[in-house]
Amino acid sequence: MRQYVNIFDVANEAGVSIATVSRVLSGSAGVREATRKKVLEAARRLDYRPNMLATGLSQRKTRTLGVVLPMIDHPFYSTLYMAAQRRAMELGYFTVLFQIELGSERITREMVDHLIGRRLDGIVASGDMLKSADFDEGGSSLLEIGRYMPLAVVNSPVPLNCPCLSSDLEGACRTAIDHLRALGHERIALLGGNGYESFANTREHAYLEYMRKRGLEQYIYPYTLGGTAQEGAACVKWLLENFTGARRPTALFAFNDLVALGAIRQMRLMGLSLPHDMALVSCDNQFFSPYTEPPLTTIDLHAQKLGRKSVEILLAERSKLGMEILPSTLIVRASCGTPASCRGDSDAEG
């Protein structure tokens, strides 16, 4: 394995001091053109690549941002990450991905130590899937990180003592259910679990609030639901077995498109056809949602925008603490049926 070339080697080769080499390579002014050429030439000849560890140590800056997410193999998060990393790159930062361990779904002590130990220039962390302990001020929680470096939290269920950016889950829920009610549905179930309902900005919370306020029956799946297709299928099965006849829901609001995918399949298996026997709205607008049968009506949570914007507020000089909500938008396709009022703003409203 070849030896790494260092700045002394280049200085030697060019017959100058390391200070000059550094100046040339970092583009500082005040180097004679002839010297510049010599150094560049030497660096090229030796294939010199500066040691970024040393650079980081010396400058106390790594030009690197950390992104903390659960489940990068979930389309929502991989989209978010892609967008974040691209924006970071545009702004001159490199990005590293940290995954919150599945199962634990906790910011562990080692995680925090690692994040701080890397001397990153900032952290974007996803707040959903976290338990309340992760938001404690003390110990080795998420917020501990914010004491050492800029921190922005995405999709936190509660406002925190740092800039927060979230999709409008409450609004998404309202839009979804309003849409279903406009189509005449009353018995609307949530395809989502009971894991986090104590927080304000969650689908569960919003669903419960909405239904309670309007005196509509709430259908609660008594198990936790993480957001996979399998869980979607299980949830539909449970619902259809436990609420029959006149109590059977006529519409479903799915936790996300993956859950919807499983739900659709399960319904087909049970002989129900969409949108005739059951209407379905979902969340995320993921890449596959135009390709389901029927195509999914879904609320776009703008994972891309979330990703981009989160690094922007992270890097902004002064961005305000607390919660900023990103509006979500309804994408009407076919899974709820499409009444006249949804096909466009035609005059055929009545």
**64 binds DNA, rule: CB under 7 A:** no
| Residues near 268 by beta carbon (within 8 Å), at least 6 away in sequence | none
Q: Which does 250 bind (CB under 5 to 8 A by kind): DNA, its own copies, none?
A: none
Closest CB 303 distance from DNA, rounded Å: 36
Select 179 or 333, whichever has its Cβ closest to its own copies.
333
Closest CB 196 distance from DNA, rounded Å: 37
Cβ–Cβ < 8 Å for 200, 209: no
CA distance readout (Å), 243 to 99, 220, 291: 38, 11, 29
Q: Which of 118, 181, 237, 305 binds its own copies (CB under 8 A)?
A: 118
Select 22 or 175, whichever has its Cβ closest to DNA.
22
Residues 18-57 within binding reach of its own copies (CB under 8 A)? 49-54, 56-57
296, with CB counted inside 10 A (0-12, 13-18, 19+), is buried
Residues 85-114 within binding reach of its own copies (CB under 8 A)? 85, 94, 96-97, 99, 113-114
Q: Dihedral of CA 342/346/348/350: which sign? A: positive
Q: Which of 247, 268, 320, 343 binds its own copies (CB under 8 A)?
A: 268
Q: Where are the beta strands (DSSP E) in the chain?
A: 64-70, 94-100, 122-126, 151-154, 163-167, 188-191, 251-254, 279-283, 297-300, 322-326, 329-331
Select 32 or 147, whichever has its Cβ closest to DNA.
32
Cβ–Cβ < 8 Å for 254, 283: yes
| Residues near 179 by beta carbon (within 8 Å), at least 6 away in sequence | 281, 297, 330, 332, 336, 342
Residues 76 and 282: their CA atoms lie apart, in Å, by 13
Select 206 or 336, whichever has its Cβ closest to its own copies.
336
Q: Which residues bind DNA (CB under 7 A)?
A: 4, 6-8, 15-23, 25-26, 28, 30-32, 34-35, 48, 50-51, 54-55, 57-60
Q: Which residues bind its own copies (CB under 8 A)?
A: 1-2, 4, 49-54, 56-57, 62, 72-73, 75, 78-79, 81-82, 85, 94, 96-97, 99, 113-114, 116-119, 147-149, 229, 258, 261-262, 264-265, 268, 287-288, 290-293
